[in-house]
Chains A and B, each alone.
Chain A
Amino acid sequence: MRILTYIRQVLDAEESVHIANDAVALENSKLVMDTMDEYGVEEALRLRESGIEAEIVAVAVGSARIQDALRTALAMGADRAIHVETDTRLDAIALSKVLAQLATQEQATLIFSGGQQADWDSHALAAATAERLNWPQVTWTSALELKGTTLTGKHDADEGSESFTLELPAVVTTQQGLNEPRYPTLPNIMKSKKKELRKESLDEFDVTPKLKFVSAEIQVKNRLNKILDGKDAPAAAAQLVDLLRNEARVIA
């Protein structure tokens, strides 16, 4: 079988956000593979290591820099990668059109994607891809097993969690808690340089986004930042309670 793991490259969580020309400017910032997608790569590797014969293909759509994230996936253990290069920013619905076509071309039967993208803060990509392929989906999985063509596992629902079974093909979204992603080792980083990273042009996929990104601004709520020293606990506690009662008036 063939597994696609879809990868985003996002701002490192430790980095500050900068805005230029009404959009988030990433040129001078550290970018990393979206952690939610790392769980997808790791889960694909674990399925293969559990004895399932599978080729794992890492897929990304984005600017030239995104190939660093694909190289990371290859160094983790993916077999090859496909990079659809574009500087056009695509929303999840537009992006799913590319991903669904790649899945069809590659005759994939399982797709992993992160549960929420840490840039567009969207949950839509996996479900949109599943719909385009007319496949079922399962989102926010926290446990997964594959026997033959039957997936079983656990995922988060509106209230609490559910156990499920599902027949392949399917789209699965991943999250923290599903597994612990491995770090690429030096020998694997060296090996990954020889692995195939195929470039494709976005023009091949006939994508016309229906959403326009108009502007972006950093939300700064001015905080009071009244921070007390707590060495003398009773005194600090008295001062805090007084502030909350009489200044902020948030407690009785």
Chain B
Amino acid sequence: MILIVVEYANGKVSKSTWEMITAARESGREAPLTALVLGSNISAIAAEVARAVDQVLVADLPALAQYDPELWSAAVAQIAAEGEANLVLIGGSRSGREYSPRVAIKLDAPLLEDVITLKSSAETNTAQRYTFLARVTETIESTTPIAVVTIKPGVFNPATPKAEAAEQFDVDLNLPTPRLKVTGKTAERSSRISLSEAEIVVSGGRGVGSAEGFTQYVEALADQLGAAVGATRAIVDAGWRPYSEQVGQTGKTVQPKTYIAIGISGAVQHLSGMNKSKTIVAINRDPEAPIFKIADYGIIGDVTQLVPAILTELKK
């Protein structure tokens, strides 16, 4: 079987899960598609995902109310082993990237991480992934009977649910005791459109001058265009913007139709999080800024004059 570990948030199946379903269906591997839902009070999630797979396994346990890498990896490895899964798909979220290596080792399987294409047969799994800070595309292959694969978010088209629902089964798990104790959470949720789902992203860097400059130029332009707001690591570190808006190696990877970079010079760590955007627009004072090398459109000049002029133009 192909096992997909369902990702969900705020009571809904996440887009990444529908993307994994497409990756599995397009992989060429002929095997029943099984969704595994881990958590507590998850019947709505199980019912929702049942409309796109062949069967659903549900582990609805109070112990699983909180994500923990040791619990998740133990649960997934146990179900994969019992069901003789040959392909285990996990989302390329922070948590997925964190527990998937443990699953691979428990199953004595290779880990194909953050893949953007996947071809799978009974003999081989071939995948492509970005490397060298997303500057290179590498092809990798495994020839083992079982492989663990994490799917890079935002690459595969989300699957569409059908009217009929697959059967659901409850599963028993032998879970370890979590050792990492979470003592507090800081949820940084923005009221705007989410970065990973927006068609247009307007991002700001040091060139906006200050936190006020960010509001005045980046947020104003984003509001005008109905876009999501992004930021560079430097200004998140400076405390001007929340971490949830950070784009780059240590933040989010985005792939919108249009990425507008304001006052961003384009360190390779930032570029790795946005260089797959369809159209890139850059505004920066420094003509030598690396961002211009990957831009489709750009203006060399002062952000404080150019952005207000663009806003005036857009309102015409």
Footprint of B on A, CB under 8 Å? 11, 13-14, 17, 19, 24, 91-93, 96, 115-116, 118-125, 127-128, 130-132, 136-140, 152, 156-167, 175-177, 209-219, 221, 223-231, 233-234, 236-238, 240-241, 243-244, 248, 250-251
Q: Taking chain B's interface residues, is the majority helix, strand, or loop, or is none over half, making it mixed?
A: mixed
Residues of A within 8 A of B237 (CB): 176-177
List 10 A-B pairs, Cβ < 8 Å. Answer: A17-B132, A125-B101, A165-B183, A177-B237, A218-B137, A226-B296, A226-B297, A228-B300, A244-B258, A250-B258
- Indicate if the CB atoms of A139 and B132 lie closer than 8 Å: no
- Indicate if the CB atoms of A159 and B244 lie closer than 8 Å: yes
- Indicate if the CB atoms of B105 and A132 lie closer than 8 Å: yes
Q: Report the minimum CB–CB distance from B273 to chain A (whole Å).
A: 11
Interface membership of chain B positions 32-48, coded 1 if the CB is closer than 8 angstroms to chain A and 0 otherwise: 00000000000000000
- Indicate if the CB atoms of B140 and A118 lie closer than 8 Å: no
Residues of A within 8 A of B305 (CB): 230, 233
The 7 closest A-B pairs by CB, nearest first: A230-B301, A237-B309, A210-B110, A128-B101, A136-B179, A163-B184, A124-B101
Footprint of A on B, CB under 8 Å? 9, 67, 69-70, 73, 93-95, 97-102, 104-106, 109-114, 126, 129-144, 179-189, 200, 225, 233, 237, 243-244, 249-250, 257-258, 267-269, 272, 275-276, 278-281, 283, 287, 292-302, 305-306, 308-310, 312-314
Q: Report the minimum CB–CB distance from B274 to chain A (whole Å).
A: 12
Q: Report the minimum CB–CB distance from B87 to chain A (whole Å).
A: 14
- Indicate if the CB atoms of A139 and B94 lie closer than 8 Å: yes
Residues of A within 8 A of B300 (CB): 227-230
The distance in angstroms between the C-alpha atoms of A219 and B133, with both chains bound, is: 11
The distance in angstroms between the C-alpha atoms of A243 and B267, with both chains bound, is: 26
- Indicate if the CB atoms of B136 and A127 lie closer than 8 Å: no
Most buried by B among A127, A160, A213: A127
Q: Which residue of B lies closest to A138 (CB)?
A: B180
